[in-house]
Every structure is written in structure tokens, then in C-alpha cells.
Amino acid sequence: MCPHLGVYITKANGGKQPFEKNKVVETCLRMGASVHVANDVAERVEKRVYEGMPSRQILQLIFMYMGKRNPAVKHVFDLRTGLSLMNSKPEFEMFVRLLLAENGFEVEPNRILRGKCGEHEVDAIAKKDGVTFFVEAKHHFSYHALTGMDESRIAQAILEDVNDGFELGTLNFKVDRAMIVTNTKYSEHAIMYGSCKNILQVGWSSPQTFGLRDVILKHNLYPLSCLKGVREDTRLRLVNSGIVLMKQLLAADGKQLARQTGLPQNAVWEIIEKAKAGADALW
């Protein structure tokens, strides 16, 4: 059915939003399509969109048409789904630390900061341009879930307590700012509070040029969880061996990785081949 002007689609949370053809084009471009192919796929999808169509079905259409143009697409999930499939601890936390390191931060993992009133375990300490952040990684299994203001209020309370501790000598360095990194978007209240308190809130598409989507695309930081057909327990063996990203897997020595993970050699090579095909689809 050919859509008319102003057709609305149904989001996963039940809300409605206008169908935007340019978003289909952007999705195809992120999957490695040329402008010509992206526009062609968008035209085909637009012809099949109908009033109230679930957004998930639109994504399925994109993958179907892209798969016909590039068979390697069948080996990967879309990026938002891949991120949502990650294990919160340690996988997403490790991913966040790698992402920050790729962007020029000096990163220390998992620290306990002693404040005036208590001890606080944080996911990382990150330093760049003379600014020291403590980092909290907040993962959601549903990428439609919003990260709310509570996360920012907790981060601000930790920042105040550890800096009180620094003044008293319980901590030997000063933390300048809090940083929260999540795979979803932030609520309006969270954005307002974080902006007021100078918290760096990194989400799916914010802040501009430093959201997860932009950073992943810029540096090819696709997680292993974007690969289809890899069991979670197998992936976590790789994660526990320090392999979180597809490009880390492609740079690894297969034989050594089999010894480190305890996985059969042929299973490791099979996953590496999947990663090669995934890279062809995404990079």
C-alpha cells in the first residue's frame, strides 16, 4: 500500500510518530550502503508503509532489501539491537571503557572512591584535557527505555561526597565531573538536571558528535553482540578474555584465543568468519 502524506507508524512503546523516509536512508547509510542504494531501499520501504505499521516491521523491511543488495547483512543485528543484547556487567562496562579510550581518554577501570560519608564503586575514571570524570555505565535491555533523572541525581550525590572526601584527605585526587554513558536516550527531566549540574550525559544520539551512534560509526566500534548466531555464553567467554568489539576479534590470534577462552578452535574460526562478514556489512 502506498503511503499518503502524514502517515503515522507505531513505535515499540505504543506511541505514534510520522514516517520519515530520510530516517530509512540514514539507517541504510549506517549499514554501508551507497547513497543510490540507500535511496532505492527507502523508496521500496515507503511504498509498503501503512497507517499504524509497527516500527519493527519497517526495520525488517530495511534488512530484507539491504540483504538483497549486500548478503553480508544477514550476519548482523542493527546497532541499537546489538547494544541492547549486551550483558550489563561486565560487557557493557568494558565497551564503555573502550569507547572512551578510542576517543582520547585515559581510562582506569572499576575504582572505589572514598568520600566523606561513604565509599562509592564507579565503573571507570576517565581523564582528558585536564578534566577528571568518574563514569557510570547504565545499560538497558530495551533501547526504547529512557534513562531518567534518578541516575543523574545519584551521580551528582557521589560527586559531591567524593569531593568532600578529597577536601578531608580520604581521596588523593579531585574528581571534576560525573559522566553517565547509556545505550538509550535520556528523559527531558534528566537532560535538564544534567545540564544544570554539568554532568556529561552520553546517550544513543547525544551529545552532538559524541553520542554512542556517532562514536561507534566513526571508529567502527561495533560490539560482538551485533553478530547473529553467536551464543551468549560463547560471546561472554570472549568478553572475559578482553574481546568486546568485532575489530578486536578480527585482530586477535585465533589459536591463542581458543586457548584463552577454552572454546574449540573451529568455533573460534567460525566466529571470526562471522565477524569478517559483519564487517563487510557495517564498515
For 142-167, how does the pLDDT look when each residue is reduced to its tens digit (9 = 90+)? 988 999 999 999 999 999 999 999 99
For 233-249, how does the pLDDT look when each residue is reduced to its tens digit (9 = 90+)? 999 999 999 999 999 99
How far is residue 209's CA from residue 230's CA, in Å, rounded to a whole number?
31
What is residue 28's predicted lDDT score, i.e. its pLDDT?
A: 82
Q: Look at residue 252 and tell me whether its pLDDT is greater than 60.
A: yes
How far is residue 148's CA from residue 194's CA, in Å, rounded to a whole number?
10
What is residue 255's predicted lDDT score, i.e. its pLDDT?
A: 93
Q: What is the mean pLDDT of residues 201-206?
A: 95
Over pLDDT 70: what percentage of the chain? 94
How far is residue 157's CA from residue 178's CA, in Å, rounded to a whole number?
10
Contact 238, 257 (CB under 8 A): yes
pLDDT band at 75, cuts 50/70/90?
Answer: low
Give the three-class secondary structure for 137: strand
Domain 223-282 coded CATH 3.10.129.10 = no
Asked which of 65-79, 118-132, 152-166 is least confident by mean pLDDT, the reply is 65-79
Provide the 10 A C-beta neighbour count for residue 103: 15
How far is residue 41's CA from residue 28's CA, in Å, rounded to a whole number?
8
Longest dimension (CA), the chain: 69
What is residue 37's predicted lDDT score, i.e. its pLDDT?
A: 86
pLDDT band at 283, cuts 50/70/90?
Answer: low
Domain range list for the chain: 8-69, 87-219, 223-282
More confident site: 38 or 75: 38
Domain 87-219 coded CATH 1.10.3720.10 = no
Q: What is the mean pLDDT of residues 183-194?
A: 97
What is residue 26's predicted lDDT score, i.e. its pLDDT?
A: 84
What is residue 134's predicted lDDT score, i.e. its pLDDT?
A: 98
- How would you list the strands of the sheet with 200-202, edge to edge? 106-114, 119-128, 131-138, 177-182, 200-202
Q: Look at residue 5 and tell me whether its pLDDT is greater than 70.
A: no
pLDDT band at 282, cuts 50/70/90?
Answer: low
Provide CB contacts within 8 A for 252, sequence distance 6+.
243, 272
- Residue-averaged pLDDT of the chain: 91
Q: Look at residue 1 and tell me whether its pLDDT is greater than 80.
A: no
Q: What is the mean pLDDT of residues 187-213?
A: 96
Q: What is the mean pLDDT of residues 36-52?
A: 91
Q: What is the total residue count of the chain?
A: 283
Q: What is the mean pLDDT of residues 117-136?
A: 98
Q: What is the mean pLDDT of residues 49-75?
A: 82
